[in-house]
Amino acid sequence: MRTAVVVFPGTNCEHDVVHALRSLGGDAELVWHRETDLSDFDGVILPGGFAHGDYLRTGAIARFSPVMAEVRRVADEGAPVLGICNGFQVLCEAGMLPGALIANRDLAFICRFVEVEVTDTSTILTRNAELGQRIRIPLNSYEGNWVHPGSDARVALTYIDNPNGSQGSAAAVSNPEGNVVGVMPHPERASDELLGSSDGLVLLESFLQSLVPA
Amino acid sequence: MRVSVEITRRPEIADPEGTNIMRALTDLGHRDIESVRVDRILHLDIRGDDPDQVKLRVEEMCRQLLANPVLEDFRVEVGE
């Protein structure tokens, strides 16, 4: 089973994601954003970094990258689709996740470990975790402040100290089906004790276990 | 034809940039400010003869790309 790790112009966490997935025995390949066929893949990760300069709004232009039609198809078929940081912003802009991401409450770029709590274990990001489990992973974003005018969103992870002002302290949000998830902090940057934490592994393992043959 | 597009954040959505600018202005002694909102204006030069048609097209561009329907409203004005 293979995971497509999409690379937009400006993405910079793709190798970390591939490395972390492979360290867990997963099969992952980089896919350029102009790709129009993901039929060889069983799941997709949109990694962090930037995309098309993030002009206009973060993720606004990436949403129209050719690969996104396939990402939507894969998601509609029930396969796992995970957006990390900038990937979360792209999925919101694409309307595949509820809400939107705006500048952090205090207008600071936040780059540090944060603690999050698992609030829903029926998503592709959290199925292997325990409800209430606390996980320490790094946040690395300026536009990480999730807002959602409605109140019907599924929140998979919440911040303990809500560093960026996200509504409901949401750190990860899913679609109603639980197979499309956006997470603002980076599980791949906490995938080895050498990095200061391996707490992110349970999240990536959840993703890999959600893969079913296409 | 010159078209102006004003993209405004909905009042119920927080505007951290506006809030922080307001704090800075307050620190500078401007203590009578009640709120600051940061919006965006785009100017497009677009070929076309019929202002109504042009307006409809630019409104479609707003729905497609220029405005985020979760956060923002837009207003299109067609000039000369």
Domain that holds residue B47: 2-78
Nearest CA in chain A to B9: A102
Contacts of B70 in chain A (CB under 8 A): 92, 99-100, 147-149
Is the whole model's pTM more than 0.95, yes or no? no
- Mean pLDDT, range B61-79, rounded to an integer: 96
Between residues A29 and A214, the one the model is more confident about: A29
Beta bridge partners of B51: none
CA distance A33 to A14: 12
Query: Above pLDDT 90, what percent of chain A?
Result: 95
Task: Please tell me the distance in Å from B67's CA to the nearest CA on chain A.
Answer: 9
Which domain CATH number covers B16?
Answer: 3.30.1280.10
| Closest of A2, A63, A13, A6 to residue A31, by C-alpha | A6
Structural domain count, chain B: 1
Q: Confirm whether A14 is a catalytic residue.
A: no
- Which one of A55, A58, A106, A107 makes the best mutation probe of the B interface by having the most chain B beta carbons within 10 Å? A107
A:B CB pairs within 8 Å: 41
CB contact under 8 A, B17 and A148: no
Helices (H) and strands (E) in chain A, counts: 4, 11
Percentages of chain B per state (helix, strand, coil), in multiples of 5:
35, 25, 40
Domain residue spans in chain A? 2-210
SS3 state of residue A153: coil
pLDDT tier at A150, thresholds 50, 70, 90: confident
Q: Does A62 touch chain B (CB under 8 A)?
A: no
Q: Is the pLDDT of residue A151 over 80?
A: no
Residue B45: Cβ within 10 Å count:
7
| Closest of A48, A65, A63 to residue A11, by C-alpha | A48
Q: Confirm whether A148 is a catalytic residue.
A: no
User: Active-site residue among A70, A85, A143, A148?
Assistant: A85
Least confident of A108-112, A176-180, B10-14, B55-59: B10-14
Q: Which two tokens stand for residue A81?
A: 């689709």
Q: Which CATH superfamily is domain A2-210 in?
A: Class I glutamine amidotransferase (GATase) domain (3.40.50.880)
